[in-house]
Amino acid sequence: MEGRPRVVIAAPQGRSGKTTVTAALIAALRGRGLAVQPFKKGPDFIDPSWLTRVAGRSCRNLDRFLMDEPTLAGSFMRATADADIAVIEGAMGLFDGVDVEGSGSTAEIARILKAPVILVVNAVRMTRSAAAVVLGCRMFDPRVHLAGVVFNNVARQRHRDLLTASVEHYCRIPVLGAMPKNRSYEVPDRHLGLIPAGEDEHLLGAVHAWTADAETFLDVDRILEIARAAPPLPAPPPLPAAVAPAGGRPLIGVIRDRAFSFYYPENLEALERAGAGLVYINALHDGLPDVDGLYVGGGFPEVFAAELEANVRLRRAVRERVESGLPVYAECGGLMYMGRRLTWKGKSYAMTGALPFEVDLDERPRGHGYMIVDVVGDNPYFPVGTTIRGHEFHHSRVHALDTGTARLAFRVRKGYGVDGEWDGIVYRNVLAAYKHIHALSVPGWAPGFVLRAAAYSAQKNKEVP
């Protein structure tokens, strides 16, 4: 058994200020010289980008729909091996899950990890009623250790005093902080949520505000005591050792920049553990290096469509290398980039043209939530008959797909994908899907991708005179 100081930041409902409180706490802990490992509950790339920025360590996701309990606990333990404390941001309300039992909820994550929970309560237009909300959360599931409360959007000292007195009197739970109303904490929204932290350096004012105010408005000493009192957890089983494919280490290019930033750290680590070397490519400026595979993650290609279109050198190189058999794995925004054209807000932009379709975006989400797909068609990376869990969140739709040239490999059981029935567009050694995967949920993905890249590398070397 191993000790891991830890705390979950949850709320009775979404939009209560969990990210603000989580980021402020991480900033305060880091300011004290502690190594803080951040986590985000559920499938999310944007909130983790902010927590990564504040913590100085890659935020990782914990998701019971994608991971069984041993996998989730093992991931947590491995990521915190060299950390002083873990801070886990929940999602939605504390008990909100995929069914009436709360499967996949923040509460379930807290129970699995035996982690104390700090409840963030949005105090706008509320005083004594806050005690009723907190008491309900405390009594709803006695297995959840509700260890304290932090109020958000507190108007003034009198407001804070009444909130604190009510909760501590009726609930017998300590109030551990009160964040004031402060617009400098706000990060602008976009159609998929907050703007990612790495996209615009001007947005980092929110980070500076969190850092400046954290020690003032949070009782960091008491929060540390609560986190350090969490019980020990079993040591995790080791991950498979890294392997080197026969013929050498293939090089996989990862397009990672302001337009494409949605990557789980575990996916990149899984590729390296499977024997690949990684090289990062900026699709807004770079050309295509001599790689043996290409990974294009999600993001916001529509926001940077003009710049992506302007980089003709990269678009042409990707299209030509696809024709030569380059293995490519593309997710969501990556799918959009691999098509012929992208249309957004009445303007159309040329993309790589490697795949025979076009993409339009509108204001309404097409696919939003978890996905389950069955692999029913041949493709470069997944055996037919495999069932894959993942997630999607997109406002785009594929049209003008030439099914005489490309084919669809995934039958959608849950979710939307390309058209509500299918996902996974295949052409040569390219697989492009709206479905995002997590390597811990799909352990065969990285080895399959790396083997395909190694085969392509061997083919290239044979062709060189």
Residue 171 known to be catalytic = no
- Report how far residue 318's alpha carbon sits from residue 454's, in angstroms, rounded to the nearest whole number: 18
Written as six digits, the tokens of 343 are 């249309």
Q: Which helix (H) or strand (E) holds 398?
A: strand 396-399
Residue pair 300/195 in contact by the 8 Å Cβ criterion: no
Which residue is catalytic, options 59, 137, 171, 332?
332
- Report how far residue 336's alpha carbon sits from residue 217's, in angstroms, rounded to the nearest whole number: 43
Q: How many residues does the chain have?
A: 465
Q: At what angle do helices 220-228 and 18-31 cross, to 10 degrees?
A: 90
Closest CA to 45 of 161, 147, 197, 163: 197
- Report how far residue 171's alpha carbon sits from residue 39's, in angstroms, rounded to the nearest whole number: 28
**Helix, strand, or coil here: 136?**
helix
Query: What residue type is assigned to position 201 of the chain?
Result: E
Question: What pairing do the DSSP bridges indicate for beta strands 6-10 and 430-433?
Answer: unpaired
Query: What residue type is assigned to position 448 of the chain?
Result: G
Tell me, what DSSP letter sits at residue 196? Answer: P
C-alpha angle with apex 24: 23 to 29, nearest 5 degrees? 95
Query: What residue type is assigned to position 421 of the chain?
Result: E
Residue pair 246/458 in contact by the 8 Å Cβ criterion: no
Written as six digits, the tokens of 348 are 């159309």
- Catalytic residue numbers read 332
